[in-house]
């Protein structure tokens, strides 16, 4: 249940609890809270547990430069750490940080890992049951693994063929397509969840975590089938926020492990990542002729430039370029076919003359 906000005192005394309380008051997502507190802790430990109020620009510059030089981190990682420290000093401590002078990490452009359609089919053949359905949804709907596992039963709309993604990256909601080929399996999965939920209710459980203040607004909603997770965990655990024993969704590492095993069995020589199904979804839509704007909306990208990276991995590039090597092979095949046709014609003429002579 590491995607549920932990409970903190209403009047926190510890420094990190005060920082978390401030972040929550600002309405930032839990993922942002986790990221910021992670980098603030690393900053404090890097400076031998010195209190942030006793440090300033010099310590920030040294820490960020160390990430680039000694840590060999990417530019994105360094930028995230910088954002966390700027929030710490400017918004939380109320201190103005002047222009910082630190060693910038090297900016590198990485292309996404994309599986071909043949590879997707082979990987799916090595996944069974719920895990196969999960992988097919990531590929068929472009879902991130966290979005997939956070799906509730109410988020599947069979009438409109839509999947509603609630609180995705950036805490944004969106809709994406529901593959027609998965409707039967999804109905079967919902029926399985329904039976499991009935057993939980009879055992005195059946309550599920609700985000924000929905539990106070709708007290009975947490025990309704519509709010149950589409892919529930096999065990019941203690909720870190309420302390109540509840059934959460399966953990992301469980699905990731199954994908790694399937990719290894398939023999695909590419990194085994759940996110690669999302990359493949976008790339294959682009190859099929769908425009970038449509793909951007389905993926939930705030900027189309993020979606444009898939134009670099589309088969033969985004300009339909034919390799000179392939063109040379095509010319050789044409010449060879012409020569065979010429030889065949001469043989036919000789055979025809022989027939006339014999008659």
Distance between CA atoms of 303 and 297, rounded to whole angstroms?
10
Q: Which of 159, 227, 160 is nearest to 190 (CA)?
A: 227
Q: pLDDT class for 334, splitting at 50, 70, 90?
A: low
Q: Across the chain, where does the E strand assignment appear?
A: 156-157, 162-165, 174-177, 237-238, 245-246
CA angle 204, 205, 209 (to 5 degrees): 155
Q: What pLDDT is recorded for position 314?
A: 75
Residue 309 or residue 341, greater confidence = 309
> pTM (2 decimals)?
0.78
Q: How confident is the model at residue 341 (pLDDT cuts 50, 70, 90)?
A: low
212 close to 193: Cβ distance less than 8 angstroms = no
Give how far Cα 185 sits from Cα of 85, 159, 178, 312, Å: 46, 16, 12, 34
Tokens of 136: 């097919």
Ordered by where they begin, the domains of the chain are: 15-92 (1.10.150.130), 117-253 (1.10.443)
Evaluated on CA atoms 22, 23, 24, 25, the torsion sign reads positive
Higher pLDDT pick, 314 / 144: 144
The two tokens of residue 169 are 């990256």
Pick the more confident residue, 91 or 12: 91
At residue 219, φ and ψ (nearest 5 deg) are: -60, -30
Per-residue model confidence (pLDDT) at position 98: 81
Q: What is the mean pLDDT of residues 346-354?
A: 50
Candidate from 2-11, 117-126, 338-347 with smallest mean pLDDT: 338-347
- Annotated active-site positions, please? 144, 169, 275, 278, 301, 310
| Mean pLDDT to the nearest integer, 226-248 | 89
On the CB side of 215, how many CA atoms lie within 13 Å of its CA? 11
Give pLDDT, residue 308: 87
- Among positive and negative, which fits the CA dihedral 138, 144, 150, 155? negative
Distance CA 191, CA 339 (A): 65
pLDDT at 359: 47
pLDDT: which is higher, 354 or 190:
190
Position 158 pLDDT exceeds 50: yes
Confidence of residue 318 (pLDDT cuts 50, 70, 90): very low
Confidence of residue 357 (pLDDT cuts 50, 70, 90): very low
Q: What is the pLDDT of residue 92?
A: 94
């Amino acid at each position: 249940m590491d995607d549920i906000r932990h409970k903190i005192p209403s009047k926190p005394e510890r420094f990190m609890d005060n920082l978390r309380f401030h972040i929550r008051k600002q309405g930032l997502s839990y993922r942002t809270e986790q990221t910021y507190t992670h980098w603030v802790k690393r900053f404090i430990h890097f400076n031998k547990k010195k209190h942030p109020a006793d440090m300033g620009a010099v310590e920030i510059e040294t820490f960020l430069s160390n990430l680039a030089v000694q840590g060999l981190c990417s530019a994105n990682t360094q930028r995230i750490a910088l954002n966390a420290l700027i929030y710490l000093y400017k918004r939380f401590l109320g201190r103005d940080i002047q222009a910082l002078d630190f060693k910038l990490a090297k900016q590198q452009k990485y292309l996404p890992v994309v599986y071909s359609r043949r590879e997707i089919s082979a990987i799916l053949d090595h996944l069974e049951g719920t895990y196969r359905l999960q992988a097919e949804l990531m590929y068929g709907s472009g879902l991130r693994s966290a979005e997939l596992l956070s799906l509730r039963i109410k988020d599947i709309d069979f009438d409109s063929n839509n999947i509603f993604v609630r609180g995705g990256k950036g805490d944004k909601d969106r809709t994406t397509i529901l593959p027609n080929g998965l409707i039967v399996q999804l109905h079967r999965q919902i029926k399985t969840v329904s039976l499991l939920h009935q057993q939980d209710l009879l055992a005195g459980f059946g309550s599920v975590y609700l985000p924000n203040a929905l539990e106070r607004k709708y007290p009975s909603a947490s025990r309704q089938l519509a709010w149950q997770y589409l892919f529930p965990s096999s065990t019941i655990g203690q909720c870190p926020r309420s302390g109540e024993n509840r059934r959460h969704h399966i953990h992301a590492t469980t699905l990731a492990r199954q994908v790694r095993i399937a990719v290894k069995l398939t023999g695909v020589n590419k990194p085994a990542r759940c996110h690669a199904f999302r990359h493949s979804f976008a790339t294959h839509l682009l190859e099929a002729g769908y425009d970038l704007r449509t793909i951007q909306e389905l993926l939930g990208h705030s900027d189309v430039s993020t979606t444009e990276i898939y134009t670099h991995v589309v088969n033969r590039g985004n300009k339909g370029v034919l390799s000179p090597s392939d063109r040379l092979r095509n010319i050789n095949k044409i010449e060879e076919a012409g020569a065979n046709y010429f030889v065949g014609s001469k043989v036919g003429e000789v055979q025809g003359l022989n027939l006339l002579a014999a008659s």
